[in-house]
Amino acid sequence: MAFSVGGGGQKRRGRVAQATVAEINVTPLVDVMLVLLVIFMTASSVETARLSREAETLRQVVSDEMTAADAAPQDENQVPVDLPKAKAEKLVGGAKSGKPVLSIDRRRRIYLGKDLLVDCRKVSGKFEACLDAFEKALSTNEKAQSLTDVHLRADQRLSYGQVLQLMARMRRAGISHFGLVTEVPAGSKGRAP
């Protein structure tokens, strides 16, 4: 009898051993997943910080460019205007001929020389209301009352229609002769007025 009990005992141990080997141990899997989660969280926070620094740098550059565009004029009679680029022959006399310069910048502020005539942002209504105020300013400004010949400097970001409307109002106010001022394109040998 002892023989059969000993034999049965070995079989039980074999079955118990097989049962423990068949179970899956998830502890190492959970450990690996938690380590990967920490790595991804750290990497994403570093990338987010880098992107926010780049965005702030870009905002600062744009702000500096806007400030530079509104900076003091380069010439005593010039308002900062981003002129269109065109290759053209220089006119006799050019912009330095003593003719008054009428300028309209990208914010639709209209200047005669360096004197602000009208700020269209402060005029309520459409561009037509601004042009009415411009005509009125030309008739009341003592420098502008006798004008018949000017150079017009218009920012290239303005619509073509707005510049044409401004020229029509200039004609109606008695300015019969005007030249459009451009800049020489980069790398060009030609000169512009």
Please report whether residue 6 resides in a domain: yes
Which pair of structure tokens corresponds to residue 154? Answer: 């218009």
Does 60 lie in the same domain as 11?
A: yes
Q: Per the structure, how many domains does the chain have? A: 2
**Average pLDDT of every residue of the chain:** 77
Domain extent for 15? 2-68
Does 43 lie in the same domain as 101?
A: no
Write out pLDDT tens, residues 80-135. Answer: 777 777 776 665 544 456 788 888 888 888 888 888 888 888 877 788 888 888 88
| pLDDT score recorded for residue 37 | 96
- Ramachandran angles phi, psi of 177, nearest 5°: -125, 125
Which pair of structure tokens corresponds to residue 20? Answer: 């423990």
Please report whether residue 87 resides in a domain: no
Please report whether residue 88 resides in a domain: no
Q: Which long-range contacts (CB under 8 A, 24 or more apart) does 105-109 make?
A: 105/79, 105/80, 105/81, 105/155, 106/69, 106/81, 106/82, 106/155, 106/157, 106/158, 108/158, 108/162, 109/79
Does 121 lie in the same domain as 176?
A: yes
CA neighbor of 106 nearest in space, from 137, 150, 69, 65:
69
Write out pLDDT tens, residues 39-94. Answer: 999 999 999 999 999 999 998 888 877 766 555 445 555 677 777 777 766 655 44
